[in-house]
Amino acid sequence: MRCIATGLLAALLLTGCSTGPDAVAVNNGGEFRFVAATPSGEVIPAGERATAPEFSGTLLGGGEFSSGELAGDVAVLNFWGSWCGPCRVETPQFQEVYADVRDDGVQFLGLNVKETSEQFALAFVERFGIEFPSLYDPRGEVALAFRDYPATAIPSTIVLDRDNRVAAVYTGEVSQDDLRRVLDLVLQEA
Protein backbone atom coordinates (compact mmCIF):
# COMPACT_ATOMS: atom_id res chain seq x y z
CA MET A 1 0.00 0.00 0.00
CA ARG A 2 2.84 2.38 0.85
CA CYS A 3 4.40 1.79 -2.60
CA ILE A 4 1.13 2.68 -4.29
CA ALA A 5 0.82 5.90 -2.28
CA THR A 6 4.44 6.80 -3.02
CA GLY A 7 3.88 6.13 -6.73
CA LEU A 8 0.79 8.31 -6.80
CA LEU A 9 2.63 11.12 -5.04
CA ALA A 10 5.52 10.89 -7.50
CA ALA A 11 3.12 10.99 -10.47
CA LEU A 12 1.42 14.06 -9.04
CA LEU A 13 4.74 15.83 -8.55
CA LEU A 14 5.80 15.05 -12.12
CA THR A 15 2.70 16.68 -13.58
CA GLY A 16 3.01 19.73 -11.39
CA CYS A 17 0.24 21.15 -9.35
CA SER A 18 -1.64 20.86 -12.42
CA THR A 19 -4.93 16.38 -14.66
CA GLY A 20 -7.33 17.02 -17.51
CA PRO A 21 -10.87 15.76 -17.82
CA ASP A 22 -10.47 13.85 -14.57
CA ALA A 23 -9.89 17.10 -12.69
CA VAL A 24 -9.34 16.85 -8.96
CA ALA A 25 -10.72 19.75 -6.95
CA VAL A 26 -8.36 21.18 -4.36
CA ASN A 27 -9.42 22.96 -1.21
CA ASN A 28 -10.65 26.08 -2.93
CA GLY A 29 -14.31 25.74 -3.61
CA GLY A 30 -13.67 23.50 -6.60
CA GLU A 31 -12.48 26.33 -8.83
CA PHE A 32 -8.81 25.34 -9.05
CA ARG A 33 -7.81 21.97 -10.44
CA PHE A 34 -4.91 19.80 -11.40
CA VAL A 35 -4.35 19.59 -15.17
CA ALA A 36 -1.77 17.96 -17.40
CA ALA A 37 1.17 20.26 -17.96
CA THR A 38 1.82 21.62 -21.44
CA PRO A 39 5.29 20.52 -22.57
CA SER A 40 6.01 23.91 -24.09
CA GLY A 41 4.22 27.14 -24.75
CA GLU A 42 2.80 27.62 -28.18
CA VAL A 43 2.52 31.09 -29.58
CA ILE A 44 -1.04 31.75 -30.68
CA PRO A 45 -1.08 33.19 -34.23
CA ALA A 46 -1.61 36.97 -34.05
CA GLY A 47 -4.88 36.82 -35.98
CA GLU A 48 -6.35 34.32 -33.49
CA ARG A 49 -5.46 36.10 -30.26
CA ALA A 50 -8.10 37.33 -27.85
CA THR A 51 -7.77 40.45 -25.75
CA ALA A 52 -6.85 39.68 -22.15
CA PRO A 53 -9.41 40.57 -19.51
CA GLU A 54 -8.83 43.74 -17.51
CA PHE A 55 -7.97 43.24 -13.86
CA SER A 56 -6.68 45.08 -10.84
CA GLY A 57 -5.74 44.33 -7.28
CA THR A 58 -3.44 44.88 -4.36
CA LEU A 59 0.25 44.06 -4.64
CA LEU A 60 2.01 41.91 -2.06
CA GLY A 61 3.28 44.28 0.56
CA GLY A 62 0.82 47.02 -0.44
CA GLY A 63 0.02 49.28 -3.36
CA GLU A 64 -2.52 49.01 -6.12
CA PHE A 65 -2.02 47.57 -9.61
CA SER A 66 -4.11 47.76 -12.76
CA SER A 67 -3.61 45.71 -15.92
CA GLY A 68 -3.48 49.02 -17.81
CA GLU A 69 0.07 49.36 -16.46
CA LEU A 70 1.11 46.56 -18.83
CA ALA A 71 0.02 48.49 -21.93
CA GLY A 72 2.52 48.57 -24.77
CA ASP A 73 4.82 45.92 -23.29
CA VAL A 74 5.01 42.18 -23.60
CA ALA A 75 3.83 40.77 -20.26
CA VAL A 76 4.36 37.48 -18.47
CA LEU A 77 1.60 36.67 -15.99
CA ASN A 78 2.47 33.82 -13.65
CA PHE A 79 -0.19 32.34 -11.37
CA TRP A 80 1.53 30.80 -8.34
CA GLY A 81 1.23 29.81 -4.70
CA SER A 82 3.86 29.22 -2.04
CA TRP A 83 2.16 25.86 -1.43
CA CYS A 84 2.86 24.72 -5.03
CA GLY A 85 5.96 22.53 -5.51
CA PRO A 86 6.50 23.32 -9.23
CA CYS A 87 6.21 27.04 -8.41
CA ARG A 88 9.27 26.68 -6.19
CA VAL A 89 11.19 25.33 -9.19
CA GLU A 90 10.05 27.78 -11.85
CA THR A 91 9.91 31.03 -9.87
CA PRO A 92 13.70 31.43 -9.46
CA GLN A 93 14.04 30.72 -13.19
CA PHE A 94 11.43 33.40 -13.92
CA GLN A 95 13.54 35.83 -11.89
CA GLU A 96 16.57 35.02 -14.08
CA VAL A 97 14.58 35.63 -17.27
CA TYR A 98 13.06 38.80 -15.83
CA ALA A 99 16.52 40.17 -14.95
CA ASP A 100 17.58 39.62 -18.56
CA VAL A 101 14.53 41.09 -20.35
CA ARG A 102 13.07 43.77 -18.08
CA ASP A 103 14.83 46.51 -20.04
CA ASP A 104 13.58 45.09 -23.37
CA GLY A 105 9.90 46.02 -23.00
CA VAL A 106 8.89 42.91 -21.02
CA GLN A 107 7.05 43.08 -17.70
CA PHE A 108 6.52 40.18 -15.30
CA LEU A 109 3.63 40.02 -12.87
CA GLY A 110 3.09 37.26 -10.37
CA LEU A 111 -0.44 36.49 -9.27
CA ASN A 112 -0.40 34.80 -5.88
CA VAL A 113 -3.57 32.75 -5.54
CA LYS A 114 -5.27 30.70 -2.85
CA GLU A 115 -2.75 31.67 -0.20
CA THR A 116 -3.92 31.35 3.40
CA SER A 117 -1.73 34.23 4.54
CA GLU A 118 0.00 37.08 2.76
CA GLN A 119 2.98 36.40 5.04
CA PHE A 120 3.54 33.01 3.33
CA ALA A 121 3.57 34.71 -0.07
CA LEU A 122 5.94 37.46 1.11
CA ALA A 123 8.30 34.86 2.62
CA PHE A 124 8.28 32.96 -0.70
CA VAL A 125 9.17 36.12 -2.65
CA GLU A 126 11.95 36.98 -0.21
CA ARG A 127 13.33 33.43 -0.13
CA PHE A 128 13.72 33.33 -3.91
CA GLY A 129 14.82 36.97 -4.33
CA ILE A 130 11.93 37.82 -6.65
CA GLU A 131 12.12 41.40 -7.88
CA PHE A 132 9.03 41.56 -10.08
CA PRO A 133 5.70 42.50 -8.47
CA SER A 134 2.96 40.05 -7.49
CA LEU A 135 -0.69 40.66 -6.86
CA TYR A 136 -2.10 39.10 -3.72
CA ASP A 137 -5.24 37.34 -4.96
CA PRO A 138 -6.23 34.90 -2.17
CA ARG A 139 -9.70 34.30 -3.60
CA GLY A 140 -8.36 33.74 -7.12
CA GLU A 141 -10.51 36.46 -8.69
CA VAL A 142 -7.92 37.41 -11.33
CA ALA A 143 -7.25 33.75 -12.11
CA LEU A 144 -10.97 33.23 -12.65
CA ALA A 145 -11.02 36.13 -15.10
CA PHE A 146 -8.50 34.11 -17.16
CA ARG A 147 -10.30 30.77 -16.68
CA ASP A 148 -10.64 30.18 -20.42
CA TYR A 149 -6.86 29.83 -20.78
CA PRO A 150 -6.83 28.03 -18.02
CA ALA A 151 -5.25 30.04 -15.25
CA THR A 152 -7.20 28.01 -12.72
CA ALA A 153 -4.43 25.39 -12.92
CA ILE A 154 -1.50 26.28 -10.70
CA PRO A 155 1.09 27.06 -11.84
CA SER A 156 -0.07 28.71 -15.04
CA THR A 157 1.67 31.30 -17.15
CA ILE A 158 0.15 33.57 -19.78
CA VAL A 159 2.22 35.71 -22.12
CA LEU A 160 0.54 38.85 -23.46
CA ASP A 161 1.69 40.65 -26.59
CA ARG A 162 2.15 44.42 -26.81
CA ASP A 163 -1.53 44.79 -27.77
CA ASN A 164 -2.69 43.12 -24.54
CA ARG A 165 -3.71 39.93 -26.34
CA VAL A 166 -3.04 36.40 -25.09
CA ALA A 167 -0.04 35.27 -27.13
CA ALA A 168 0.93 32.04 -25.31
CA VAL A 169 -0.42 29.88 -22.49
CA TYR A 170 1.29 27.35 -20.25
CA THR A 171 -0.25 25.07 -17.66
CA GLY A 172 2.22 23.53 -15.27
CA GLU A 173 5.86 24.34 -14.77
CA VAL A 174 7.54 26.38 -17.53
CA SER A 175 11.14 25.78 -18.53
CA GLN A 176 13.33 28.86 -18.67
CA ASP A 177 14.48 27.98 -22.20
CA ASP A 178 10.94 27.69 -23.50
CA LEU A 179 9.85 30.95 -21.89
CA ARG A 180 12.83 32.72 -23.46
CA ARG A 181 11.96 31.22 -26.88
CA VAL A 182 8.37 32.42 -26.68
CA LEU A 183 9.38 35.88 -25.45
CA ASP A 184 11.86 36.21 -28.32
CA LEU A 185 9.11 35.34 -30.82
CA VAL A 186 6.60 37.78 -29.34
CA LEU A 187 9.19 40.57 -29.01
CA GLN A 188 10.07 40.21 -32.72
CA GLU A 189 6.48 40.92 -33.77
CA ALA A 190 5.90 44.33 -35.31
Res. 21: pLDDT tops 50: no
| Single pTM value for the model | 0.80
In this predicted structure, the answer to whether residue 33 has a pLDDT above a threshold of 90 is: no
Q: pLDDT grade, residue 140 (50/70/90)?
A: confident
Do residues 85 and 11 touch, judged by C-beta distance below 8 A?
no
Examine the pLDDT at 2 and tell me if it is beyond 80. no
80 φ, ψ to 5°?
-145, 170
- The answer, yes or no, to whether residue 16 has pLDDT greater than 80, is no
CB atoms within 10 A of CB 24: 11
pLDDT digits (tens, 9 = 90+) for 88-121: 999 999 999 999 999 999 999 999 998 989 999 9
Q: Which of 15-24, 39-48, 120-129, 145-154 has the lowest mean pLDDT?
A: 15-24
Q: How confident is the model at residue 82 (pLDDT cuts 50, 70, 90)?
A: very high
CB 147 within 8 A of CB 179: no
3-state secondary structure of 109: strand
Would strands 64-66 and 74-80 be described as parallel, antiparallel, or unpaired?
unpaired
Which pLDDT does position 190 carry in this prediction? 64
Tell me what pLDDT residue 24 has.
31
142 compared with 15, residue with greater pLDDT: 142
31/124 Cα distance (integer angstroms): 23
Looking at residue 153, the DSSP 8-state letter turns out to be B
Helical (H) or strand (E) element with 104: none
Residue-range domains of the chain with CATH:
38-188 (3.40.30.10)
Q: How confident is the model at residue 128 (pLDDT cuts 50, 70, 90)?
A: very high
